């Protein structure tokens, strides 16, 4: 095990600097940019593995950049929730591999080096967001993440993509503003930007600014997470972006909102200065409504990527409901679903992207019968589909089970019912999808002639589909990994 302290700063600094060098390395050549991005993400993955090994053995650790002490310098803090960098690295690597053939066909050649630059910046900003212990630093990474996200939605250059990116930009800018305002209020109340330091200094602060600070922070992160009624930017942006980007946006970027909320909860519970039960109730309800509405809208979509985008709203609902329940099982389920939903949704978007790449069609009606010509891709999509419904041997099951248990534990059996109800809806639309791919007569016989997806696209999809199954079998590992962090969080409010 390597415990060299500066490693935590290098996790961010090395990939960030390498990302800005991408255009210089590529010099206009997309292929060179691809290999460089792959190398950078591999290095980041090695560092991430070392850090996760360390946190699993000795618990949370910190590093203050520049050799200062905590409230004066910027503290990076790595706890069990930060282990989300594992899925960022994994999905990042697979998305880069997947992009190799995909972007050559979807994006104009001179833009490709900038595509990889923005993808790398997006991934490293997410890692920075996840490991920082300083509120303003969090905001800086959120800005890199948002800016690169808007551009990646628009990068294909189609008019509709630019419109979707603009809608995303407006909503994203409002949410950034709210988060910044919340940070400003907390600074005015405590004189500090360090999260742990703020938690110790909030005692006795005036109640109205305190409540508003936590409210705007949560609201800002809720927009980023696309919780119902703040989800309106998501379906277009996620459906229209290039498929590897859809997987990253839907699997990872919305989770930034969740991780942000977790950080807000750590401050609030740690300080004991504010009662979060009102907010928790709101989150539970919005979560439940998101589950049902996301699934409801998804049922009526014919465009497969649109369908997947709506299903993200429903899954964010599960996670937020788990957060709002504030019970051990609920929080464990929610934290692990951050990881598992990323795997599942990336499988589905990669699969859908491969179908679109080969057939040029994106609606269920047009894609009927494609299961016969692209058996591996459709098999992977089917595994993703049964995982997202939450069938027992797959990754989706345990988290939802834990969130339902959490609802019982917190004394809200109604929400467990909402969860099961949502799962039924989800079941309907995935059955529609599998039915169309395998059993319907093709509308256009040409669809039976298309070739299976190229290896750079098929292999990442199959790896993810396999992981959906593996995580179902090994589901206990992440659950017990995250448990100490959840217990620590809840110990401060006496819940659990």
Partner 1 sequence: MIRRALVVALLIAVAVPLLLAMSQLPPHGSPDTPPNTHVSPYYLEHGAEEGGAENIVTAVILNYRGFDTEGEVTVIFTSMAAVLAVLMLAKPDRAPRVAPTPELPVSVVVRFIVRVLAPFIAMFAIYVILNGHVTPGGGFQGGTILGALVIALSLVLSREDADALLPRKPEHLLQAAAPIAFFLVGMAGLLYWGEYLYFPRDEAQRWIGVLMLTIIEIGIGVGGACVLIRIFRAMRTE
SS (H, E, C) 432-452: HHHHHHHCCCCCCHHHHHCCC
Cβ atoms of residues 116 and 25 within 8 Å: no
Give the residue with the Cβ less far from partner 1, 156 or 314.
156
213 binds partner 1 (CB under 8 A): yes
| 154 counts as binding partner 1 under rule CB under 8 A | yes
Residue from 95, 99, 102, 134 binding partner 1 (CB under 8 A): 134
For the CB of residue 33, give the shortest distance to partner 1 in the complex, in Å. 11
For residues 191 and 278, which CB has a smaller minimum distance to partner 1 in the complex?
191
Residue 118: name the closest of 82, 159, 153, 162 by CA: 153
The residue (of 147 and 493) whose beta carbon lies closer to partner 1 is: 147
Q: Which of 61, 136, 285, 376 binds partner 1 (CB under 8 A)?
A: 136
Q: Which H/E stretch holds residue 406? A: helix 395-409
Q: How many CB atoms lie within 10 A of CB 24?
A: 10
208 binds partner 1 (CB under 8 A): yes
The residues, ordered by sequence, that sit 6+ positions from 398 with a Cβ below 8 Å of its Cβ are: 333, 336, 340, 472, 475, 476, 479
Q: Which of 416, 426, 415 is nearest to 390 (CA)?
A: 426
Minimum Å distance from CB 208 to partner 1? 5
Q: How far is the CB of 155 from partner 1 (least distance, A)?
A: 5
In angstroms, rounded to a whole number, what is the distance separating the alpha carbons of residues 486 and 332?
Answer: 7
Does the footprint of partner 1 cover residue 189 (CB under 8 A)? yes
Q: Distance between CA 121 and CA 79 in Å, rounded?
A: 23
Distance CA 337, CA 150 (A): 25
* Binders in 113-132 for partner 1, by CB under 8 A: 114-115, 117-118, 121, 128
Distance of CA 98 to CAs 111, 144, 255, 356, 454, Å? 17, 23, 21, 13, 9
Q: Is 199 in the site for partner 1 (CB under 8 A)?
A: no
The reply on whether position 173 binds partner 1 by CB under 8 A is no
| 236 binds partner 1, rule: CB under 8 A | no
Among 99, 148, 340, 359, binds partner 1 (CB under 8 A): 148
Structure-token pair, residue 14 = 């090395």
Quick check: 147 binds partner 1 (CB under 8 A)? yes
23 part of the interface to partner 1, by CB under 8 A: yes
Determine, following the binding rule CB under 8 A, whether residue 51 of this chain makes contact with partner 1.
no
Closer to partner 1 by Cβ: residue 30 or 317: 30
Window of 11-19, 344-352, 358-366, 446-454 that interacts with partner 1 by CB under 8 A: 11-19
Shortest reach from residue 322's CB to partner 1, in Å: 27
What is the rounded distance in angstroms from the CA atom of residue 256 to the CA atom of residue 387? Answer: 22
CA angle 344, 345, 350 (to 5 degrees): 105
Q: Which residue do the tokens 């229209």 mark?
A: 240
Q: Say how many residues touch partner 1, by CB under 8 A.
A: 65
Q: How far is the CB of 64 from partner 1 (least distance, A)?
A: 9
Query: Which residues, including other chains, have CB under 8 Å from residue 468's CB and lie 6 or more apart?
Result: 340, 343, 344, 347, 383, 384, 387, 394, 395, 396
Give the Cα separation of 24 and 194 in Å (integer): 36
Q: Which two three-digit tokens encode residue 451?
A: 């070739």
Residues numbered 338 to 357 that lie near partner 1 (CB under 8 A) are none
| Nearest approach, Cβ of residue 62 and partner 1 (Å) | 13
Q: Nearest approach, Cβ of 256 to partner 1 (angstroms)?
A: 15
The residue ranges that bind partner 1 (CB under 8 A) are 6, 9-10, 13, 16-17, 19-21, 23-24, 27-28, 65-68, 71-74, 108-111, 114-115, 117-118, 121, 128, 134, 136-137, 140-141, 143-144, 147-148, 150-152, 154-155, 157, 162, 165, 185, 187-193, 201, 206-209, 211-213, 215
């Amino acid at each position: 095990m390597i415990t060299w302290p500066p490693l935590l700063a290098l996790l961010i600094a090395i990939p960030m600097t390498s990302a800005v060098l991408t255009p210089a390395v590529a010099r206009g050549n997309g292929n060179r940019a691809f290999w460089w991005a792959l190398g950078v993400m591999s290095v980041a993955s090695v560092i991430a593995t070392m850090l996760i090994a360390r946190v699993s053995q000795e618990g949370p650790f910190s590093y203050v950049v520049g050799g200062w002490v905590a409230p004066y310098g910027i503290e990076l803090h790595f706890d069990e929730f930060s282990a989300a960098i594992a899925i960022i690295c994994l999905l990042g690597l697979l998305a880069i591999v997947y992009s190799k053939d995909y972007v050559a066909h979807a994006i104009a050649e001179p833009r490709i080096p900038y595509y990889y630059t923005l993808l790398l910046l997006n991934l490293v900003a997410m890692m920075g967001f996840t490991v920082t212990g300083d509120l303003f630093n969090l905001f800086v990474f959120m800005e890199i993440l948002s800016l690169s996200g808007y551009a990646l939605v628009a990068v294909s250059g189609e008019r509709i993509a630019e419109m979707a990116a603009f809608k995303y930009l407006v909503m994203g800018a409002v949410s950034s503003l709210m988060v910044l305002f919340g940070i400003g209020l907390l600074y005015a109340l405590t004189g500090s930007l360090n999260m742990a330091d703020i938690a110790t200094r909030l005692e006795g602060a005036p109640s109205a600014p305190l409540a508003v600070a936590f409210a705007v922070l949560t609201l800002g992160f809720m927009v980023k997470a696309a919780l119902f009624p703040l989800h309106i930017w998501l379906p277009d942006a996620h459906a229209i972006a290039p498929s590897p980007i859809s997987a990253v946006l839907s699997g990872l970027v919305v989770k930034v909102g969740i991780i942000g909320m977790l950080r807000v909860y750590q401050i609030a519970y740690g300080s004991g200065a504010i009662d979060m039960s009102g907010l928790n109730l709101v989150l539970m309800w919005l979560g439940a409504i998101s589950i049902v509405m996301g699934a409801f809208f998804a049922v009526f979509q014919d465009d497969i990527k649109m369908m997947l985008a709506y299903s993200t709203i429903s899954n964010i609902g599960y996670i937020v409901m788990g957060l709002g329940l504030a019970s051990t099982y609920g929080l464990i389920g929610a934290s692990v679903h951050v990881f598992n939903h990323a795997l599942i949704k990336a499988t589905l978007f990669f699969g859908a992207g491969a179908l679109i790449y080969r057939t040029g069609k994106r609606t269920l009606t047009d894609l009927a019968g494609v299961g016969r010509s692209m058996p591996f891709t459709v098999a992977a999509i089917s595994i993703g589909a049964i995982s997202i419904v939450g069938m027992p041997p797959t990754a989706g099951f345990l988290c939802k089970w834990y969130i339902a248990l959490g609802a019982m534990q917190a004394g809200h059996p109604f929400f467990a019912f909402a969860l099961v109800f949502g799962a039924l809806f989800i079941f309907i639309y995935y059955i529609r999808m599998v039915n169309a791919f395998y059993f319907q007569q093709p509308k256009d016989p040409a669809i039976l002639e298309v070739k299976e997806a190229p290896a750079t696209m098929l292999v990442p999809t199959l790896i993810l589909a396999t992981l959906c199954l593996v995580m179902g079998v090994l589901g206990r590992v992440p659950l017990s990994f995250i448990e100490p962090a959840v217990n620590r969080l809840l110990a401060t409010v006496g819940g659990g």
